[in-house]
Amino acid sequence: MANPFKFGSVVSEDFFTDREKEAEDAKNVLASSNHLVLISPRRYGKTSLINKVTSSLSRPVVYMDLQLATDVSDLATQLLKKYLSINQWENIKHFLANFRIVPTLELNPQTGSVEASFAASASNKFTPLEDVLNLIEKTGKKSNKPIVVLDEFQEVLSLNKNLPKQLRAVIQHHKNVSYVFLGSLESMMKTIFESKKSPFYHFGYLMALDKIPYNDFFDYLKKRFDKITNKSEAISREILEFTQQHPYYTQQLAFYYFSFLEKERYKKDMLPLVAKSIIAIHDTDYERLWNTISRTDKKILISLAMQGKLPTLSFPQSTIYSGLTRLVTRGYIIKNKNYEFDDPFFKNWIIMRRNGEYTI
């Protein structure tokens, strides 16, 4: 039987869980003259959501993860390559000839794709990116607007401190392109789009992607575990209690749980066995990660893992706040109603190690 759960990559079709309202809201925004800003912690499924929405619209899509751009010129190069891959050469070649810094183009005979690069310009690093963005605008059609998805958009600040201002100055005039800005660091994204001093203040319709509602996730899990066991209700409750409805880790735990059930019958202590098997796989990664964390931040993580609360003794509030800010920025913890671990398996790895248990 094919495992009905998937994790570790963008999910679609039957693997996609709920998000019907969010998908409909995103479609409505993209059908309007507005741009979309979507914020959620890492691995909450925002990329999968946008992929599902854009796939249903039959419009040209250019997707760019800003984490993978090394500088502004590289961002321009990658965007141009992606746009060339979805367009007929005849439709855009005369626009390229008018670029202020003309790109070098090479056809890859093995893949049929076009490689692009810009010569370094000391005078204005932004010029190639401006030309590429304007190319998308000029070749776009109001009846079938291209959608430019800029993932992890908070990284724009690390590429160049002036880049937000320069980007806004260009794309605010675009009428034939829909922009989608995805971000996983809520505080930075809200600074970019909610601060009155920011060039992108109220630039788009802001959506915050929360956890999938418990009942929806429960029904999703139960329906799939029904195929292999009559204990699907108990299993679904166990999984959601462990993962606290985190989309990625729920799919991961469900995948391994399903694999266990293919080999043996359900038993009450099965979830700890499944969880420990996953922790054992990542033991070396967690140990390596732990060794990169400062002593103060380790104490905060230990207190959250063991006691479910922040340390209160022998810690100034300013020290705890600074540590929490670092841990949120690095993606180790999430701030919802309270601070909680992003990765429940990492949390349990800490608990096991503190209790003298070892995964290997």
Where a domain ends, among 281, 308, 328? 281
Confidence of residue 336 (pLDDT cuts 50, 70, 90): confident
Mean pLDDT of 39-53: 90
User: Residue 240 contacts by C-beta under 8 Å, 6 or more apart in sequence?
Assistant: 214, 217, 218, 221, 250
Q: What is the mean pLDDT of the chain?
A: 89
Which pLDDT does position 4 carry in this prediction? Answer: 92
Same domain? For 122 and 241 the reply is no
pLDDT of residue 9: 64
Q: What is the pTM of this model?
A: 0.85
Residue 55 or 105, more confident: 55
Q: Is residue 13 part of a domain?
A: no
Residue 267 and residue 128 in one domain: no
Query: Which of the two residues, 115 and 202, has the higher pLDDT score?
Result: 202
**Looking at the structure, do residues 309 and 295 belong to the same domain, yes or no?**
yes
250 and 287 part of one domain: no
Residue finishing a domain among 192, 208, 224:
208
Average pLDDT over residues 63-85: 92
14 located within any domain: no
- What does the alpha-carbon distance between residue 287 and residue 257 come to, in Å, rounded to a whole number? 24
Q: Per-residue pLDDT for 119 more than 80? A: no
Verify that 102 and 153 share a domain, yes or no.
yes
Residue 178 in domain:
yes
Domain interval for residue 150: 19-208
Task: Look at 9 and 223; give whichever has higher pLDDT.
Answer: 223
The H-assigned helical ranges of the chain are 20-31, 46-55, 72-85, 89-96, 127-139, 156-159, 163-171, 186-194, 214-225, 232-243, 247-263, 270-281, 283-290, 295-307, 317-329, 344-354
Q: Of 281, 307, 326, at which residue does a domain stop?
A: 281
The pLDDT score that the predictor gives to residue 121 is 63
**Is the pLDDT reported for residue 1 higher than 80?**
no
Token pair listed for 185: 């660091």
Q: Confirm if 118 and 101 have CB atoms less than 8 A apart.
A: yes
What is the structure's pLDDT at 123? 58
Based on the structure, what is the number of domains in the chain? 3
Q: Which of 266, 253, 280, 274 is nearest to 352 (CA)?
A: 280
Q: Assess if residue 2 is contained within a domain.
A: no
In this predicted structure, what is the pLDDT of residue 12? 57
pLDDT at 98 over 60: yes
Q: Which residues pair with 144 in a beta bridge?
A: 141
Judge if 333 and 191 occupy the same domain. no
The answer on pLDDT for 15 being more than 70 is no
Mean pLDDT of the region 129-142: 93
Domain membership flag for residue 291: yes
| 226 token code pair | 């029904």
- Specify whether 262 is located in the same domain as 233: yes
Residue 25, pLDDT > 70, answer yes
pLDDT score, position 178: 96
pLDDT of res. 317: 83
The reply to whether 3 falls in a domain is no
Residues 194 and 221 reside in one and the same domain: no
* Domain shared by 175 and 257, yes or no: no
Q: Tell me the CATH number at 334.
A: 1.10.10.10
Q: What is the pLDDT of residue 19?
A: 82
The yes-or-no verdict on residue 168 having pLDDT over 70 is yes
pLDDT value, residue 6:
86
- Indicate if 129 and 104 belong to the same structural domain: yes
Model pLDDT, residue 101: 85
338 shares its domain with 305:
yes
119 with 45, same domain?
yes
114: pLDDT confidence band, cut at 50, 70 and 90?
A: confident
4 within domain boundaries: no
CATH number of the domain that residue 76 is part of: 3.40.50.300
- State yes or no: pLDDT of 18 exceeds 70: no
Task: Read off the pLDDT of residues 61-70 as tens digits, 9 standing for 90 and up.
Answer: 999 999 999 9
- pLDDT above 80 for 124: no
Q: What is the pLDDT of residue 333?
A: 93
Kindly state whether residue 171 falls inside one of the protein's structural domains. yes
